[in-house]
């Protein structure tokens, strides 16, 4: 019993740490009261800093127009992620005994990059284009860090961030940085499209043509013009609207139960055969395998995270102002990134989970040798402390579309038409006012949750 005591302590701590209720956050967002969601999250802040909580706080703060508070939450999440990059040995060992929930959570790469998207808009909406430029440079540095860290980096969200940063740099008059960002966007979109099916938007090519011409880069201008065609010319006394349309929710991670048979012929647990990691690699090939009862020594059950597709009702947008109409272009598929990211990690998560379960299995066997009651207690403790790591940024949108359109300077009534999977209009909103300034860019983002 004394050997199992630490297991019970961890179990009690895990059960006792109640977090926030995701449903409460969603109610505020979907009812048009993001301030309620933000206040709820503030009230239910965990005692120990938590990255998903900071992400949720940052997003709800953004929608509540609490731009400074939103950016602070995102910055805090980034600081925690950096601090956790070198994992605590104590915490890592604890996770091998109990649950992956004890492992330091640093957020996925695409989550960290998308937090910069909201921070960039925070600065723009607060009237600080210089702040947005600084945020873009931080995002660019983070992408470079991810590139240097992993040779087979998938560039999830990198193309979108580089694209956005190119627009921000261009709006700030920093054309060299804009040119570099647009070139990177074309490269990053191409890399990630193998997994997300989001092709480089036409706007990236047109931007390369436009900016290379303004910089006087003759060779590049000729090359990009040949590759992408002439860029649309903006009439005098016109400005641009860039609208980001965010639709639905990224599907949440859920827990699924898997079974793996340990055979009577395996001899695992004997004196010279207790390497859990080694046996876990063998065991993972038996997922769901059915064997004869006479050959079955033990049926190992483990909990694994999984994500199932959950596309939103709306999958496209059309924006119009009078006779001016523009179609939204898909520039980020967060659902695909979430699923592909988890799939790429599945093997290592499964092996680690199996190794942990095998360790508990050995504890159960040793306890059972002493007494049947102790074996039952050990088996129960192992089952209760086994849970999949389903932490993630849950309020992220499912997909992001971009509308870029030239409009005459002045105030306009913007009509948004939301499209279903067949491309037909399912709903519209005409109560959106936008101010367009000559030769300037007006940024806006809009979210639906259906």
Q: Is the per-residue pLDDT at 230 higher than 50? A: yes
CA distance 45 to 37: 12
What is the spatial distance between Cα 405 and Cα 355, in angstroms, rounded to a whole number?
Answer: 55
Using CB atoms within 10 Å of the CB of residue 426, give its burial: 0 to 12 exposed, 13 to 18 middle, 19+ buried.
middle
pLDDT tens digits, 376-397: 665 666 556 678 999 999 999 9
Q: Tell me the chain's radius of gyration from C-alpha atoms.
A: 26
The string of pLDDT tens digits covering residues 103-140 is 778 899 999 999 999 999 999 999 999 999 999 999 99
Dump pLDDT digits (tens) for 19-33: 678 899 999 999 999
CA 136, CA 119: separation in Å to the nearest integer?
A: 9
Give the Cα separation of 212 and 220 in Å (integer). 6
63 touches 125 (CB < 8 A): no
Q: Do the strands 238-247 and 441-448 form a parallel or antiparallel pair, or are they unpaired?
A: parallel
Contact 366, 379 (CB under 8 A): no
H-type alpha helices, 172-304? 175-196, 202-215, 218-228, 276-283
> How sure is the predictor about 34, in pLDDT bands with cuts at 50, 70 and 90?
very high
| Domain residue ranges in the chain | 259-306+343-384
Q: Residue 152 gets which letter from DSSP?
A: T
Residue 286 or 1, more confident: 286
Give pTM, 2 decimals: 0.90
């Amino acid at each position: 019993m004394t050997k199992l005591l630490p297991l019970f302590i961890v179990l009690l701590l895990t059960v006792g740490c109640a977090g926030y209720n995701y449903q409460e956050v969603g109610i505020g967002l979907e009812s048009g009261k993001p301030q309620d969601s933000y206040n709820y999250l503030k009230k239910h802040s965990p005692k120990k800093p938590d990255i998903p909580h900071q992400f949720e706080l940052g997003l709800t703060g953004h929608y509540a127009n609490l731009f400074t508070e939103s950016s602070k939450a995102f910055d805090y999440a980034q600081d925690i992620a950096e601090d956790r990059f070198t994992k605590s040995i104590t915490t890592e060992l604890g996770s091998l005994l109990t649950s992956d929930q004890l492992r330091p959570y640093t957020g996925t790469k695409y989550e960290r990059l998308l937090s910069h998207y909201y921070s960039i808009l925070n600065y723009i909406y607060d009237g600080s284009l210089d702040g947005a430029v600084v945020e873009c440079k931080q995002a660019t540095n983070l992408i470079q860090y991810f590139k240097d860290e992993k040779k087979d980096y998938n560039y999830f969200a990198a193309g979108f961030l580089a694209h956005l940063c190119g627009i921000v740099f261009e709006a700030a008059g920093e054309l060299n940085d804009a040119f570099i960002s647009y070139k990177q966007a074309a490269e990053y979109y191409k890399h990630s499209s193998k997994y997300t099916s989001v092709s480089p938007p036409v706007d990236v090519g047109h931007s390369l043509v436009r900016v290379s011409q303004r910089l006087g880069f003759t060779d590049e201008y000729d090359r990009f013009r040949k590759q992408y065609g002439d860029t649309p010319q903006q009439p005098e006394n016109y400005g641009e609207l860039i609208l980001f349309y965010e639709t639905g929710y990224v599907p949440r991670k859920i827990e699924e139960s898997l079974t793996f048979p340990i055979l009577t012929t395996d001899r695992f647990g004997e004196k010279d055969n207790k390497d859990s990691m080694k046996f876990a690699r063998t065991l993972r090939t038996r997922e769901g395998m059915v064997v004869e009862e006479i050959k079955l020594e033990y049926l190992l059950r483990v909990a694994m995270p999984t994500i199932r597709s959950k596309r939103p009702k709306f999958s496209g947008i059309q924006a119009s102002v009078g006779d001016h109409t523009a179609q939204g272009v898909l520039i980020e598929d967060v659902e695909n990134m979430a699923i592909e990211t988890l799939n790429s990690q599945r093997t290592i998560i499964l092996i680690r989970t199996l190794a942990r379960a095998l360790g508990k299995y050995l504890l159960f066997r040793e306890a059972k040798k002493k007494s049947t009651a102790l074996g039952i207690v050990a088996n129960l403790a192992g089952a209760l402390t086994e849970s999949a790591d389903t932490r993630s940024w849950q309020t992220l949108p499912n997909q992001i579309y971009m509308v870029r359109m030239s409009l005459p300077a002045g105030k306009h009534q913007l009509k948004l038409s939301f499209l279903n999977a067949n491309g037909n209009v399912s709903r519209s909103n005409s109560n959106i006012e936008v101010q367009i300034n000559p030769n300037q860019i007006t940024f806006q983002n809009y979210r639906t949750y259906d």
